[in-house]
Structures are given as C-alpha cells and as structure tokens.
Structure 1
Amino acid sequence: MKTKNAIITEKPPQEVTENLVLLRQDLDLKVPPKKLDKNLLIASWNIRSFGNLTRKWASEEGDSPKRDLHSVLCIAEIIRRFDVVAIQEVKANIRALRDTLKVLGGHWSMILTDVNKGRAGNGERMAYLFDTRKVNLSGLAGELVVPHEWSKKITENALKEQFVRTPYAVSFRSNHQTFILITLHVLYGKKSTDRIKELKGIAQWLSQWATDINAYHHNLIVLGDFNIEERGDLLEETFLSEGLFVPEALQEASVTRSIFNETKYYDQIAWFNGAGRKPRLSMTFVNGGSYNFVDKALANRGLTRNNLSFMISDHYPLWAEFKL
C-alpha cells in the first residue's frame, strides 16, 4: 500500500517525531548553543542535489527523488543550530529548500544565486540561509568574476576562463560585526590536478580583494566545497598559497567532511589572519568542527550510507564559532 502525500507543516508521524528528538539531543551535545549578541555560528554544507523532494513522510521504492519530508525535517534541525549557513549544490528546483525554510520559521531568510548554466555547472546554485534574529544582510551581494587581464597570463596554473560555478559573496551584520562570506563549489574534474587553476584563482582573487583599500570591508571568510582530497596535498597548498588561514580546530583528523571517507578534506572555512600584510579578521575564532549525523538522522529507517547521502547528504556540515 502506497503512502499518501503530505505537507511539511502537518504533524509528523510518531516515529519521525521520536527520531527528531534523538537528533536534537545529539546536536545539543556536539554543537555550541546560539547566544544572542555573544557568539556567531557560521556553517558550510554541501547538501547533495538539494532540489526536488517527494512529499511523503517516508519515500518508497519507485519514488524519485528519495529525499522526503522526514529528511527535510532533519536537515532543518541541523541548519537551525547555526546563525548563517552557506549551502552548495542547491538545484534549479528549490522545493526542498522552500520546505526547509517553512520548517525553520518566519525569522529565517535566504539569498541565492541563479542556476549555473552549462554541463559543468551541473544546474547548481549557491545559497545562504540565515537567522534574522542574529544575522542580517548588510548591503553587498555579488558573484565573483575573473578579471580579463588574468586570461593573458602565461603561467602554467593561471586561470584563463571564468569559474565554472561562480563564487557568491554576500555581506552580513551580526551585533556590531560586519563580514563578507564567499562560498563556492570547486569543479571536481576528471582528476585532482584539474582543480588547481580554480583553487589558485579564488585564492588570488580573495588576496587582492582583502588588500584593496577600496574593499567594502576586510572581514572576509571563504567557505564551501573546495574538493581538496587530503590534508597537506597539492590542492590544499594551492588553496593556502595566497595567505588564507584554516584554524587548527578545523584541521583535526577528527573533523571529517565526507560520510564515505574520513580522510577527505573537501570542505573548508578559511580567512586571512594578518600574514603577508593581509588584514586580520576582527572577529575572535572560538572553536569549530563538523557534525556527523549518520547514526542519528533517519536512524529509524535502516538506510545504507549511500541511500542516506541522497536523503540528507554525502557531506557533513562544517562550522566555526566566533565571539562577538
């Protein structure tokens, strides 16, 4: 017998409610609490193919996509633990995103890009979700483009074309602090060296912006899926080559990024820390980590990790806490 369709604002079945209690209890233990005017929790999350959803509490064999209302409640429960979340892999169809906002409530808002056209862009958008009780827009929003002059460079790793998925910069204000977040999703390519030019390009772009006296302001934080394979590899070296800084707390081996492989180092949150005449971040970093949802989200469903990756994600959310 097929499960009937439902809407996200309806009361969920008992087994869904019980699973959400389990998830909340785990989040309470592993993610710092939000404190008005005292801390700022910034997160980055590549939510796999975050587009359409099946409007049932539990999707069934033959349903497409597999992501269902239970999945959205779990995603929303994780997102609400942060003040602003940069999301990668938002698709052209934003049904799941809109339902997530409904669950989060009227004090949450979003800003997002148009869809990246072309095969390489994979029909993706960049988005930010933010809790307006603590964070508001402060006036700047734009997509980063490669200066024409860069195409004339003859160095081996020069970026000679635009970013495949355009990085998205948005400025926010929280209490007395203003900051620009730049999120991106680096093209995976056929081999790891295919990513070097984009990684070098974004590092150079940010370095120039950070030192520009006409910049909007200097609190720049870059976050997203950089598709860096391992700690200390050439991709990471390229990403950090212009002075970007990743705090030690986010370099720990225990801070995993992928639900499939603990060594992968795909996702990053980084900023300039005063080296090489770059401006120092004015916000004080407190702590950071990732949230492993595998044993809690949809725990009652008996899913394989592969199935879970399509219903929640194949990436863990990465977060950083700052003192205000």
Structure 2
Amino acid sequence: MPVITDPPPPDVVADLAVLRAALDDRIPKRKPDNLLIATWNLRAFGSLTRKWHSGPDDSPRRDLHSALAIAEVLRRFDVIAIQEVKADLRALRDVLKLLGPQWAFAMTDVTYGQAGNAERLAYLFDTERVRLSGLACELVVPDDLDTPFSSAANAFQRQFVRTPYAVSFLAGTKTFVLVTLHVIYGDQSAKRKDELLAIARWLRAWAEQEDDFGHNLICLGDFNIDREGDPLYEAFVSTGLTPAPDHKGLPRTVFGGSRNTNFFDQVAWFETVRKKPYLTLEYRTGGNFDFRGVTMPELTVQQLSYRISDHFPLWVEFGR
C-alpha cells in the first residue's frame, strides 16, 4: 500500500505540474510584505483511500493524488480556514506531512447531531509566516431575550449549530483575528438568517470593543448565502460587514458557471468602526481558484467534487 510520502507515479507528477503552473498564474506569490488568507470548504475532509487512484468501489473517493493536489493549493497561502473537517483526520494528517514541519493547525472538536454533520472547523498556517498570538475561542450567544445579539424577528434562543471559531495570529507586527464558521444549511432559510444576523451583531460588538487595539477582525467561511441582495445576504451585511470587493460575481462551487450568483463562501470585514477606518492591514486583491479542468481533467465535475471539493478556495491578499 503506498503512503503519501512515496514518489508519485508519472501521471500524477504531470498533473501536479499543470496545477502548479495554474496556481503560479492566478495567485500572488508570498512575499515579505504581504499576507495571504484563504477559506476553503473541503468537502467531507476526513478519511483517505491510500491509493494513487481510487476505484469505483473505494470509499472515500479522495485518494493520495487528491491529497497532493489539495496540499499544492494550501501551500500558496499563509493561513487557511477550513470547513467540513471530519472526525477522521487521516486526510488532514497526510496533507500536513506534505506541507512540512513548519505548518501547524488549530481546530475545534467535532460537532455532533444531524445538523452538525460531525464537522470541525480548522485553521492551517505556516509558522514561518504567521504565528498564534494567544486567542482561540468558540463564539456563543446569550440566550436571554434582551441580548443585543438576538434576532430581531424572533430572539435567537439556541446556539449556532456549528459554533464559530476565532483564533488570533501575528504577522510581523500586525495582529489579526480570524472568525470562521459554516452556517447551517437546509430548506428553511429563516434558520440561516437567524445565524447570519447573530454572527453579524456579535462581530460588530467585538470590533467596537477591540477597535483601539488594531486587531483586524476578519470573518470568513461558508455562510450558505444564496445570492447578493437576498434576505440572507442582507442579514450578513446588516451591521456593516463588507465582503472583499474582488469576490463579487466569482463562482463559489464547481457546479456553477464561470460567473454565477451564489455567495456561499465569504471573506468580510468592517470598513469603518466608530466612524474611522477599521483595518490596519492594507487590502490589495482577492479571488478564487477554479481548479476545474486544471487537475484531474478526465473526471466529471461530480467526481472531482469528491476528490478535491465542491467549493473553490476563496482568498485575499493584504499588505502587512
């Protein structure tokens, strides 16, 4: 049985060369004066089939080739928020072996229950570029009716299905706090709206509290927002959260066209707090990485979604 550190076969080597060239072309290089932050919902990121090419009877379909491709994408960033990390960490551990000893991770415990889908939230980060600065917490809301974080329509009387996860990092002299979450998904958009309202109000209060410290609060993850301008989007931006401008119109999933309207994944922050600019980081640019037709082009989109993911990584570049 092959392992992730074995030399890959020639066809995998050739595929990875094409992938690296596309990444070189579409994602800024990491430099001393920049910071690259990404979010990626990695579909059911749990176990791994220890073959270079999984077969129709293998479960999961994600294989060693897939792990190498995922690692090639991840290594282009300094910090990546990952959603849908499962209880089984085989794929994550193999990817970390590929990334090298300077890479580390922080994660939540598994969220059990049907709605929680046995998922974790995680951050992967390159310790040669950023380091932890002390804060790691999960966000909860008070359950009393008078809380400012409750929904205006009906007070938010339960916790988030998958508790948002906040971790602070230091890049040079700049502190930034990332808050990632995977908003509940389902047919009842009202439940999603409650979660989006709650997180927007929570983050606004936190930003105002931390404003004097220059902590650069940034929210990122899979918010399951259907489209710009719908009630879910309006709930998300209701307290001033501003999505990265270069993400407007970009596809978020493998099932959309070259440009589509879904807004599932977001990276956002407050432009102003207390009537003054909030971020001390300088926003430069942002984008996604559409890997369709780049890696494993022989697969259907559905097959590719189980090898790599059904979501694209979404990234932003800041100046330090």
Q: Does residue 1:241 correspond to 2:238, yes or no?
A: yes
Choose the corresponding residue for 1:204, options 192, 201, 205: 201
- In the superposition, relative to structure 1, how do residues 23 and 150 fare at CA in structure 2: closer, same or farther (>3 Å)? farther
- In the superposition, relative to structure 1, how do residues 157 and 318 fare at CA in structure 2: closer, same or farther (>3 Å)? farther
The amino acid of 2:220's aligned partner reads L
Please name the residue that 2:293 is paired with.
295
The amino acid of 2:283's aligned partner reads F
Q: Distance in 1 between matches of 2:85 and 2:142?
A: 26
Q: Specify every segment of 5 or more residues in structure 1 that has no aligned partner in the other structure, as ranges.
A: none
Please name the residue that 1:69 is paired with.
64
The amino acid of 1:10's aligned partner reads D
Q: Does residue 1:193 correspond to 2:190, yes or no?
A: yes
Please name the residue that 1:103 is paired with.
98
Q: Distance in 1 between matches of 2:39 and 2:212?
A: 24
Q: Does residue 1:321 correspond to 2:317, yes or no?
A: yes
SS in 2 for 1:71: helix
Q: Specify every segment of 5 or more residues in structure 2 that has no aligned partner in the other structure, as ranges.
A: none
Preserved contact between residue 27 and residue 78 of structure 1 (Cα < 8 Å): yes
Please name the residue that 1:266 is paired with.
264
Under a length normalisation based on structure 1, what TM-score does the superposition of the two structures give? 0.93
Give 1:185 shift. 0.1
Identity of aligned pairs, percent? 52
Choose the corresponding residue for 1:29, options 11, 25, 31: 25
Under a length normalisation based on structure 2, what TM-score does the superposition of the two structures give? 0.94
Preserved contact between residue 143 and residue 156 of structure 2 (Cα < 8 Å): no
SS in 2 for 1:194: helix
- In the superposition, relative to structure 1, how do residues 266 and 157 fare at CA in structure 2: closer, same or farther (>3 Å)? farther
Give 1:34 shift. 0.4
Q: Distance in 2 between matches of 1:22 and 1:311?
A: 17
Q: Distance in 2 between matches of 1:271 and 1:218?
A: 12
Please name the residue that 1:311 is paired with.
307
SS in 2 for 1:18: helix
The amino acid of 1:83's aligned partner reads D
Q: Which moved more, 1:186-195 or 1:149-158?
A: 149-158
Q: Deviations 1:192-213 (Å, cap 9, x if unpaired)?
A: 3331000000001101111125
Give 1:271 shift. 0.5
The amino acid of 1:265's aligned partner reads F
Pairwise CA RMSD: 1.7
Q: Does residue 1:79 correspond to 2:77, yes or no?
A: no
Please name the residue that 1:280 is paired with.
278
Give 1:147 shift. 1.6
Choose the corresponding residue for 1:159, options 152, 156, 159: 156
Q: Deviations 1:54-104 (Å, cap 9, x if unpaired)?
A: 010000121000000000000000000000000000000010001000010
Preserved contact between residue 45 and residue 92 of structure 2 (Cα < 8 Å): yes
